[in-house]
Structure formats: C-alpha cells, structure tokens
Structure 1
C-alpha cells in the first residue's frame, strides 16, 4: 500500500493517540488534532500534530474520529456524515449511532426493533420516581447515567441486594450530590452470567468477517472491587460470525448500512444458559480495547482503516489465540484532584529496563527528547499488552512486560484474564456460544 494521508480527530479529550502513532510508524503521513486544551501535549514527540483539523480535510485521504463527543455535546457523527456526503473517506459514526451510546433508552428500542432480546430496563429523569419503582418492584438493579455525566464512570452502580435497598440508598445519595448534573439515568434489571462484549468492524455496507470478543475489567482493584473506572484492562480473542454475533450485532447489519456507519461498534452483554442480554453500545473505538486490537492485528492497520473508510473488502489478518491489555495508571486516577496529580504524577518519567517496546502502547504520554513522560491530566500514561496461544500465555507475556517498566507511584490490576481461566470460557463453551461461525 502506498503511503496515505491520515487525519485523526479528537474533538474533545485525546483518546486515539496510540492508533495515530501506529499508523505513523507504518510510514503514513499523519496529522493529529486535539480539541481539549488540557490534553494537547498528549502525543507530543510521538505523532505530528495540527492545530486546525478542518483546514486539513482536503489534505487527508482518510479522516478518523475517536469518540462521539464534541466538547460537552454529542456530535462527531454529524461531522462524519457531512464529510462523507462531501466525498471524504471517514471512519466515524452518524447522529443515530452516536445516540446509541448517549441515550440508553433509544439503544434498547433499536435492539428490540431488530429482534434482539433485552433485559428489563427503565429510563428515569426523576430520582424519586426511580426510588418508588425500585421499592414497588424489589430486585437488584444497575444504575447507568445518561448524557455527558455517563463519562464519570464511577457513577455506574451495580446493585447487590435482592430487595434493591442498596440501589435506593445510592439513588438518594446521587440526588443530593449529582442531581444538578445527572439529568437522566437508566435502571437495568441485574442479570447474572458472563459479561462479554461483541465487537464488529463495519465498512458502511457490511461487517468484516472477523469479530472481536472482549472482556472488560472496569473496577479499580484486583478481584473486581473498588470504584468503576473507564477500564483497567481487557482480555480478548477473535473468531468468526458465531452465535454471539448473529443474535446481537448481526441483526443490526441492514440498519447500520442504511446509516452508512463506518468503524468499530461494540455491544456489551451478559450471557447465561438462558440467553444473551445486551447492556450497552460503544459505537466507536473502545479504550484501551483498540490498543489491544492493534497488537493482535497482524496486517497493516493503516490499510485496514483505509479499506474500512472506502468500503473496500478488508483482508484483516489477526492473531489466532488470546490477548490481554493492562492499563498502567497514576494518582489520582480514576478521580480528579489537581493537587494530587501535580504532586505525584505530572511529567512522571517512564523508565524501561530493556530496549524492547513490544506490547507498549501510549495513552496520556509524551516523548521529550527520547524520554517518555506522563502527559495530560488523567493519569493514564500506558497500556501494556500480551498475546499467546492460551489466555495464561497471554497473561505471562503481558505481565513480564509490565515488570520491565518503572513509573513512580504507578498501579495496575494484576488479574486481567483470570476470569476466563477460572471458568468464563468453559461456561460460554458449555452454553454453545463459541462455535466457529462463518
């Protein structure tokens, strides 16, 4: 493939730095735009930057958006659609696919309209009405904020009490502390089983034949305890369009084609012996999921993105086995505390004990005269990955790489992938969900 011009756009926070770096290292011309002023140093020294992405649209052969947000508003889907209508090759959503993430009630309606089973769910804009619902219908529920406040990941709450009393207590606390910002939320009936995300790549007309199945680890501490974060690590594998895909994302293929969607779309589900229960969409790249997908893609990432944006048949070659990613973070992650960040993490040096950078991916990092440093404000400098024929092999490689990194005050989960080894994989196999597919 001849080198192409790639324009990567973060219309809010910097999220797609590592993907831009990967394409840049493959020999393509890259320009990266970051809207959020606090994040603009992220990627310095790794990726060429631009201060005006709109001025570079005509320069670009391929334009890639990283999220659905434009500042505090949903909007990259509208931008992507407008650019496609002008003839540009774009990886990005549409207004309706953006809404799948921003409006959880709409997402469930779309699933139901296309014959996908859903878990019992209700959208509320009033805390007292939600509390009354739980009291009249006692059960464990999951609280999922709507709108921009859903980005405060620690507000997601998974209930444990059969009578819903803990959910009532949390809703009461949220009303006092977050009532001014949390304008709506969804209550989902809690379902027990294996949590798995089905991730497909759509080229505007169809899904490519490789499907990614990933397992998120959102809690801060090992053992899946502590506050919810955006993500602390991911385990995954690739397969064909099997039952998990066909009964979920596969049923939305015609709708996505009508929309003209291009990119990654992920549907997180709970699976048990009785069925598949979708929880939420990610109609964009996932983070750090995309870093792990990059690590497992054995063909050209740039060529894949270009083919995806143009609707060309993609010959995606992926690692046959298992992969894991571990997010290495710094204080005060996942919280916001400028003083703590300044005292412990700002400009923290990343020191490598070997010359190898295999499996090392950047998030909030910069390169200053050859020295890798933490950048931005969030305390998420690195993602470390590993792969192998088994999940145990992938864990061994990944954590050996983590051991070769020194970042003062860093922390990470040391149990990524253990759920699969402990039985999640056996359960999915026993329930008949992991057939090879087409």
Structure 2
C-alpha cells in the first residue's frame, strides 16, 4: 500500500495515540490533534501533532475520531456524518449511534426494535420514585447513571441483595452526594452469567469479518474487587460470526447501514443457559480494547482503517489464538488528586530491562529525547499485551513483558484472562453460543 495521510482527532481525552503511532510506524503520514489542554503532551515524540485539526481536513485521506465526546457534550457523530457528506473518508459514528452510549433507554429501544432480547429496565430522574419502585418490586438491580456522570465509572453499582435493599441504600447515598449532578439513571435487573462483549468493525455497509469477542475487567483489584475503572485489562479472541453474534450485533446490521456507521461497535452482554442479555453499547473504540485488537492484527493497521473508511472489505487477518492486555497505571488512578499525581507520577520515567518493545503500547505517555515518560494527568502510561495459542499462554507472555518494565509506584491487575481459564470459556462453549451461526 502506498503511503496515505491519516488525521487522528481527540476532542475530549487523548485516547488514540497508540493507534496513530502504529499507523505512523507503517510508513504513513500521521497528524494527531488533542483538544484537552491537560492531555496535549500525550504521544509527544511518538507521533506528529497539529494544533488545528479542521485546517488538516483537505490534507487527510482518512480522518479518525477516537470517542463520541466533544468536551462534556456528545458530538463527534455529527461531525463525522457531516464530513462524510462532504466527501471525506471518516472513521466515526452518527448522532444516533452516539446516542446508543449516551442514552441507555434509547439503546434498549433500538435493541428491542430489532428483536434483541433485553433485561427489564426502567429510567428515573427522581431518586424517591426509584426507591419506591425497588421497594415495590424487590430484586437485585444495577444502577447505571445517565448523561454527564455516566463516565464516572465508580457510580455504576451492581446490587447484591435479592430484595434490592442494598440498591435502596446506595440510591439514598447517591441522592445526597450526587443528586446535583446525576440528573437521571437506569435501573436494570441483574442476572448471573458470563459477561462477554461482542465487537464488530462496520464499514458503513456491513460488518467486517472476523468478529471480536472480549472480556472486560473493570474493577481496580484482582478478583473483581474495588472501585470501577474505565478498564484494567481485556482478554479476547476472534471468530467467524456465530450464534452469539447473530443474537446480538448481527441483528443491527441494517440499522448501522442506514446510519452509515464506520468503526468499532461493541455490545456488552450477560450470557447464561437461558439466554443472551445485552447490557450496554460502546459505539466507538474501546480502551484498551482497540490496543489489543491492533496488536492482534496480522494485516497492516493503516490499510485496515483506509479500507474501512471507504466502505471496502479490508480482508482483515488476525492472530488465531487468544490475546490479553493489561493496563499499567500509576497513583492516584482511577481517582483525581493533583497533589498525589504530582508527588508520585508526573513525568515518571519508564525504564525497560530489555531492548524489546514487543507488546508495549503507549497510552498516557510521551517520548523525551528517547526516554519514555508518563504524560497527562490520568496515570495510565502503558498497556502491555500478550498472545498465545491458549489464554494461559497469552497471559504468560503479557505478564512476562510487564516484569521487564520499571516505573516507580506502578500497579496492575495480575488476573486478566483468568476468568476464561477458570470456567467462563467452558460455560460459553457448553451453552452453544460460540458454535456456528
């Protein structure tokens, strides 16, 4: 493939630096725009930057948006839609696909309209009404904030008591602490099972094969304990469209084609022997999911996005085994505390015990005269990946690579991928969801 020009755009947090770096290393011309002042140094020394993304539109062969947010508002879908109408090749959503993430009630309506089974759910803007509802309908529920605070992951609460009493207690606490900001939330019935996300790349017309199946690890500590984070790590594999895909994302192909959606779309589900129950959409790249997907590509990343943005089949070739990604973080992640970050993590040096950088991916990092350092203010400098014919082999490679990294005060979960080994894989196979469509 001849060299192409790629413009990567982060209009909220800087998230797409590693993909931009990979495309640049493949010989393409890359420019990266970061809106947030606190993130502007992220990926410095790894990829070329621009201070005005709109001035680069005519220069770019492909424009890639990394999220749905423009600051505190949802909006990249509208930008991407308008640019496509003007003849640009864009990886990005539409206003309606952005809404799948921003408006959980709308997302459930879309699923139901396309004959996808959903869990019982209800939206509330009044805490008292929600408490009355739980008392009148005792059951375990999940509290999912809506709107501005939905990205504060620690506010998602998974009920444990069969009568919903703990959910009532948490709602009362949230009303006192977050009532001024939490303008709405969804209560969704909790079910037991295996949590798995079905993820496909869509080229504006159809899904690209193969399909990705991944397992998120959102809690801070091993054993799924502690506060929720954006993500501490991911395990995954790729497969042809199967029963799990056909029951979920496969039913939305016409909807996505009507929208002209281009990019990654992920539907997180709970699966048990009674059925498949979607939980939430990610109509954009997931993080660090896209990093691990990129690592597992065996065909060029730049070619993939170039073809995807033009509605073509990229003929994607991927690693045929299993993959694991581990997020390596620094204090005070996942919390915001400027003093703690300044004292422990700002500009922290990343030291490697070997010359190899295989499986080492940047997140909030910069390169200063050859020295990798932590950048930004979030405390997420690296994602480390591994691949193998088994999940255990992928884990071994990833954690072996982490052992060769030295950053003062680093921490990470050491159990990414264990759920698959400990029984999730056997359960999904025995229930038949991973077999032929």
TM interval, shorter chain, is over 0.9
SS at match of 2:350: strand
Equivalents in 1 of 2:125, 2:17: separation in Å? 36
* Local SS of the residue matching 1:135: helix
Q: Distance in 2 between matches of 1:114 and 1:309?
A: 25
1:238 matched residue in structure 2: 238
Deviation digits for residues 293-327 of structure 1 (CA, Å, limit 9, x no counterpart): 01100000000001000011211000000000000
How large is the Cα RMSD of the aligned pairs?
0.6
Tell me the distance in 1 between the aligned counterparts of 2:436 and 2:425. 14
Structure 1 residue aligned with 2:89: 89
Distance 1:66 1:183 in 2: 26
1:424: which partner in 2?
424
Instruction: Indicate the residue corresponding to 1:29 in structure 2.
Output: 29
Paired with 2:373 and 2:131, the residues of 1 have a C-alpha distance of: 46
How far has the Cα of 1:147 moved from its partner? 1.1
The 5-angstrom pairing of residues 25-424 of structure 1 reads 25-424=25-424
Q: Tell me, yes or no, if the aligned pair for 1:239 and 1:436 is still in contact at 8 Å.
A: no
Contact in 2 for aligned 1:213/1:238 (Cα 8 Å)? yes
Which region of structure 1 is more displaced relative to structure 2, 144-153 or 387-396? 144-153
Report the Cα distance in structure 1 between the residues aligned to 2:181 and 2:41, rounded to whole angstroms. Answer: 29
CA–CA distance in structure 1, aligned partners of residues 170 and 17 of structure 2: 36
Q: Could you report, residue by residue, the CA deviation over 1:340-394 in whole angstroms, capped at 9, with x for unpaired residues?
A: 0000000000000000000000100000000000000100000000000000000
Partners of 1:89 and 1:348 in 2: how far apart? 38
Distance in 2 of aligned mates of 1:378 and 1:363: 10
Provide the rounded CA distance (Å) in 2 between the counterparts of 1:22 and 1:174. 42
Secondary structure of the residue that 1:373 maps to in structure 2? strand
Q: Secondary structure at the match of 2:27?
A: coil
Contact map agreement 1:202 1:263 (CA 8 A) in 2: yes
The superposition leaves residues 7-30 of structure 1 with CA deviations (integer Å, 9 ceiling, x where unpaired) of 000011101111111101111000
TM-score if structure 1 supplies the norm length? Answer: 0.99
Note the C-alpha offset of 1:103. Answer: 0.2
CA offsets per residue over residues 386-418 of structure 1, 9 Å max, x none?
000000000000000000000100100000000
CA distance, structure 1, for counterparts of residue 411 and residue 372 of structure 2: 17
TM superposition shift of 1:436: 4.2
Cα separation, 1, equivalents of 2:133 and 2:19: 44
Partner of 1:435: 435
How many residues align? The count is 437
Shift of 1:148: 2.0
Q: Report the Cα distance in structure 2 between the residues aligned to 1:350 and 1:148, rounded to whole angstroms.
A: 34
Q: What secondary structure does 1:208 align onto?
A: strand
> Following the alignment from structure 2 to structure 1, what is the Cα–Cα distance between the partners of residues 371 and 274?
52
Q: Distance in 2 between matches of 1:436 and 1:326?
A: 30
Alpha-carbon deviations, 1:9-63, whole Å to 9, x = none?
0011101111111101111000000000000000000010000000000000000
Aligned to 1:210, the other structure's residue is in SS state strand
CA distance in 2, matches of 1:225, 1:342: 27
Which deviates further from its counterpart, 58-67 or 175-184?
A: 175-184
Hey, what's the Cα distance between the residues in 1 that align with 2:90 and 2:436? Answer: 31
Report the Cα distance in structure 2 between the residues aligned to 1:267 and 1:68, rounded to whole angstroms.
16
* Rounded Cα–Cα distance in structure 1 between residues aligned with 2:349 and 2:417: 28
The answer to whether the 8 A contact 1:222-1:415 is kept is yes
Consecutive unaligned residues of structure 2, counting only runs of 5 or more, are: none
- Tell me the distance in 2 between the aligned counterparts of 1:325 and 1:349: 21
Moved over 3 A (4+): none
> How far off its partner does 1:435 sit?
1.1
* CA contact 1:262–1:309 (8 Å) conserved in 2: yes
Separation in 1 of the partners of 2:433 and 2:184?
34
Aligned counterparts of 1:32 and 1:127: Cα–Cα separation in 2: 42
Shift of 1:209: 1.8
